[in-house]
A = this chain, B = another copy of it.
């Protein structure tokens, strides 16, 4: 078999999930709704090689650290076990944006990996099968399989069967996501560890899941109605109730830095002045701002002026994961 290359973009959740209901199956504790980006991406090439004695993993042109490699090999093992295929592969994966810093690199990474690896092993999988594979690597990765606005939620309340659905294709709703990068450093506590600490120690964990399910229902309605202000307001609610549950863990998980606060306050001040944007923050210090196309340039100019903001990008709704060669 020859090399297969897939590209997937990170996605930014408007309605977040944080926490697993089942650690082994990596099942999210609640549904989520995201926008897949366009320019940021992971490009992953899988090359089956019969001379290999084990899988070989290169991330951003360097040999992967053991923890990273382990998550990737676990996904490859699952494909081999579940679909009865065999052989070792070389994985080469590159991000064109910072890795492991709260910019959803594990979402794009595991979406690209699942898609490329399945194909490299000669499999033709359905979306549901691909999304279950991608989820084993990262609970946010299934959303990057599709483009535009994507919901990933239980089929019925409490169900273990999660379904991926595209609520809006990339060209169906002109939205923008401004990404303000506030540090170059990777985060200290990764999402997997942070979620587990939160589940074990936060007094608010159960109510977080219940509340977020309600926000998800309202957000789906806001998308259906094309109501931007409502979607923005629900986005902020989901963001802050998630950071609240993180912060109430023991010891507290605070992913923000001073520049995170400065960007957040600036967006709120500008909104009061009529320039409409809504903040969302993932498990990291960067701030993303959901806005409409006509506000994107002005917002970006303002955010670029803030001290310690390293870079500001404007992203559009992007396509789903795809095989490129």
Of A97-105, A148-156, A256-264, the one contacting chain B is A256-264
A204 in contact (CB, < 8 A): yes
Question: For residue A221, which residues in chain B have a CB less than 8 angstroms away from its CB?
Answer: none
Check if A300 is an interface residue, CB within 8 A of chain B. no
Q: Is the CB of A265 within 8 A of B257?
A: yes
- Which of B211, B244, B259 is in CB contact (< 8 Å) with A258? B259
Residues on B with C-beta less than 8 A from A264 are: 254
Pick from B245, B250, B261: contact of A237, CB under 8 Å:
B250
Q: How far is the CA of A262 from the CA of B182 in the complex (A)?
A: 13
Chain B residues lying within 8 Å of A230, measured Cβ to Cβ, are none
Residues B256 and A261 in contact, CB atoms below 8 Å apart: yes
What range describes how many residues of A lie at the interface? 20 to 34
Q: Which of B203, B233, B251, B260 contacts A261 (CB 8 A)?
A: B260
Instruction: Report yes or no: A240 in contact with B236, Cβ–Cβ below 8 A.
Output: no
Distance of A288 Cα from B22 Cα, bound (Å): 39
Distance of A73 from chain B, by nearest CB (Å): 32
Interface string of A198-210 (1 = CB under 8 A from B): 0000011001101
Tell whether, in the assembled complex, residue B240 and residue A252 are in contact, meaning their CB atoms are under 8 Å apart: yes
Contact of A248 among B244, B256, B262, B265 (CB under 8 A): B244
Q: Please, which residues of chain B bring their CB within 8 A of the CB of A21?
A: none
A237 to B254 CA separation, bound complex (whole angstroms):
12
User: Do residues A210 and B204 form an inter-chain contact, with CB atoms below 8 A?
Assistant: no
Please list 11 pairs of residues, one from A and one from B, whose beta carbons are closer than 8 Å in the complex, sorted by A's number: A203-B210, A204-B208, A204-B244, A233-B251, A236-B252, A240-B247, A240-B254, A241-B248, A243-B244, A258-B259, A258-B261
Closest 10 CB pairs of A and B: A258-B258, A203-B211, A244-B244, A240-B252, A244-B248, A204-B204, A241-B248, A244-B247, A258-B261, A258-B262
Besides A203-B207, A247-B247, 20 new A-B residue pairs in contact (Cβ under 8 A), listed by A number: A203-B204, A203-B208, A204-B208, A204-B245, A204-B248, A233-B251, A236-B251, A236-B252, A237-B252, A240-B248, A241-B247, A241-B248, A243-B247, A244-B244, A244-B245, A244-B247, A254-B264, A256-B261, A257-B265, A258-B258
